[in-house]
Chain A
Amino acid sequence: MLDPAGTAAAEIATLFWWMTAGSAGVWLIAVGLGLYCARGRRLPQPERFVWRLIVGGGVIVPSVLLVVLLFFGLRPLTRADAASFGAPTVTVSGEQWWWRVRYTRPDGTTVDLANELRLPVGHRTEVALASDNVLHAFWVPALAGKVDMIPGRATRLVLEPTQVGVFRGACAEYCGTSHARMDFRAEVMSAVDFDIWLAGQAADALPVDNDEARRGAELFTWHGCGACHAVRGTTAAGTIGPDLTHVGSRSSLATASMRNAPAEMAAWLAAPERTKPGVHMPGFAMVGDADLHALAAYLTALR
């Protein structure tokens, strides 16, 4: 959060630095005064001086400092927080322990993906937050503060990135066993690149072009992965787990725990529990290495 790349984060970072400077000053004065007093120079006629110390140092100075602080500290709350007109909105839902992401375009169509967020630079994107299980919190420190995702309530956040780049996101509300393994990546791109990317995500899954991937597609259906996962354009339409239509295009796997490459994918499929303790997905080590590699080839080909 000290390296802001969004307007909200920048405003908060400025506030933080001023508060830190002020606090350091107050601490030095307070502790200096304490040490000086602890030296115990017996003052003659202390009464008059100490009343001034108590009223001045105890009441007046803190009150003045706090009023100033409140003025600057609360100012960000007075600003309106609307999204840019015509931009797509994103709905992020917290799951145990992954992120369900749905873009809603201005024409009303939706694009489903998971564990990754991409934003156009310079635009204000409305992020609607939800959860139907436990509490989570959506947080991209470089862009803005966090907001909780509360079952039964709708919360929202507006992100306005000011720099292109890839930024870390995390879940910031304890949500169970693998709360620590629920990071994600927020990639900020130019508006043009963003539109291209979104259009690509909206399309159905690419057709597979090599034998191993084709075998992987068959295994995918054979092992019933479609019961939990969706790959648009195929028969797989499950919504319990992350949408995998373009999983190969994501910048990381298993909520930013692994690189997105065939070897890591295979390792994940074999024993997801090892990366994400408590995960609801069963392991597939029993299908054997060859099949795992085929599945991994198929999934990483889904760009």
Chain B
Amino acid sequence: MPSAVTVSRERLWLPVVAPVVWSTHFMLCYTVAALACGRFAEVLPAARVRGLLVVLTAAAVTVMVWCLHDGWNRLGSRWPRRAHDDDTPHDRQHFMAFTTVLLASLSLLATAFEAAALWAVDRCT
């Protein structure tokens, strides 16, 4: 059945918001780590670095979870029972929503990997 969501809410780039957030989080964490182990070692001692990384990760995860939630809602709040292969606006929107859900999940997974690694190896040398 045609989805309740109007076509105007669909933008081509909505599914890639989560990966863009992942890359932003990645670059910011890398920059913080590099500066803390370089010129700004006094200003950024280990505890402060950890704190910054936690804040960055929390912010990134929040946005990604929002993307996941939004996609899930647009999917009809349930796992698709059949593929969205049909030539209808509904299926196309479903496809976009499902892709959003998958990309947000992958971004969360990658962020989790990276955050765990940053937490575990918290040293410069």
Determine direct contact between A and B, CB below 8 Å: yes
Closest chain A CB from B120 CB (angstroms): 6
Q: Which residues does chain B contribute within 8 Å of A71, judged by CB atoms?
A: 120
Please count how many residues in chain B sit with their CB below 8 Å of the partner chain's CB atoms: 9
Q: Does B1 contact A (CB under 8 A)?
A: no
Q: Which of B94-125 contact A (CB under 8 A)?
A: 109, 113, 116-117, 120-121, 123, 125
Of the stretches A5-13, A18-26, A77-85, the one at the interface is: A77-85
Q: Is the CB of B120 within 8 A of A74?
A: yes
In the bound complex, CA of A71 to CA of B117 (Å)? 8
| A78 interface neighbour in B82, B109, B113, B121, Cβ under 8 Å | B121
Q: Which residues does chain B contribute within 8 Å of A67, judged by CB atoms?
A: 113, 116
In the bound complex, CA of A77 to CA of B123 (Å)? 8
Q: Does A63 contact B (CB under 8 A)?
A: yes
| A77 interface neighbour in B82, B113, B121, Cβ under 8 Å | B121
| A66 interface neighbour in B113, B120, B125, Cβ under 8 Å | B113
Q: Is the CB of B125 within 8 A of A78?
A: no
Q: Which residues does chain A contribute within 8 Å of B121, judged by CB atoms?
A: 74, 77-78
Q: Which residues does chain A contribute within 8 Å of B113, judged by CB atoms?
A: 66-67, 70
Q: Which of A67-111 contact B (CB under 8 A)?
A: 67, 70-71, 74, 77-78, 80-81
In the bound complex, CA of A71 to CA of B125 (Å)? 18
Closest chain B CB from A129 CB (angstroms): 14
In the bound complex, CA of A59 to CA of B116 (Å)? 18
Q: Is the CB of A74 within 8 A of B125?
A: no
B-side binding surface: helix, strand, loop or mixed? helix
Closest chain A CB from B99 CB (angstroms): 14
In the complex, per-residue mask of A35-65: 1 if CB is within 8 Å of any chain B CB, else 0 = 0000000000001000000000001000100
User: Size class of A's contact patch?
Assistant: 10 to 19
In the bound complex, CA of A78 to CA of B117 (Å)? 11
Q: Which residues does chain A contribute within 8 Å of B116, judged by CB atoms?
A: 67, 70
Q: Which residues does chain A contribute within 8 Å of B117, judged by CB atoms?
A: 70, 74
Q: Contacts A63-B109, A67-B113: A81 and B125 contacting too (C-beta < 8 A)?
A: yes
Closest chain B CB from A154 CB (angstroms): 12
Q: Which residues does chain B contribute within 8 Å of A59, judged by CB atoms?
A: 109
In the bound complex, CA of A80 to CA of B125 (Å)? 8
In the bound complex, CA of A78 to CA of B124 (Å)? 10
In the bound complex, CA of A74 to CA of B118 (Å)? 10
In the bound complex, CA of A80 to CA of B121 (Å)? 11
Closest to B109 in A: A63
In the bound complex, CA of A78 to CA of B109 (Å)? 23
In the bound complex, CA of A81 to CA of B82 (Å)? 55
In the complex, per-residue mask of B16-48: 1 if CB is within 8 Å of any chain A CB, else 0 = 000000000000000000000000000000000
In the bound complex, CA of A47 to CA of B81 (Å)? 9
Q: Which residues does chain A contribute within 8 Å of B82, judged by CB atoms?
A: 47
* A-B contacts besides A63-B109, A74-B121, A81-B125, 18 pairs, CB < 8 Å: A47-B82, A59-B109, A66-B113, A67-B113, A67-B116, A70-B113, A70-B116, A70-B117, A71-B120, A74-B117, A74-B120, A77-B121, A77-B123, A78-B120, A78-B121, A78-B123, A80-B123, A80-B125
Interface residues of B (CB under 8 A from A): 82, 109, 113, 116-117, 120-121, 123, 125
A-B contact pairs, 21 of them (CB 8 A): A47-B82, A59-B109, A63-B109, A66-B113, A67-B113, A67-B116, A70-B113, A70-B116, A70-B117, A71-B120, A74-B117, A74-B120, A74-B121, A77-B121, A77-B123, A78-B120, A78-B121, A78-B123, A80-B123, A80-B125, A81-B125
Counting from the closest, the 7 A-B pairs by CB-CB distance are A77-B121, A78-B121, A74-B121, A81-B125, A74-B120, A74-B117, A70-B117
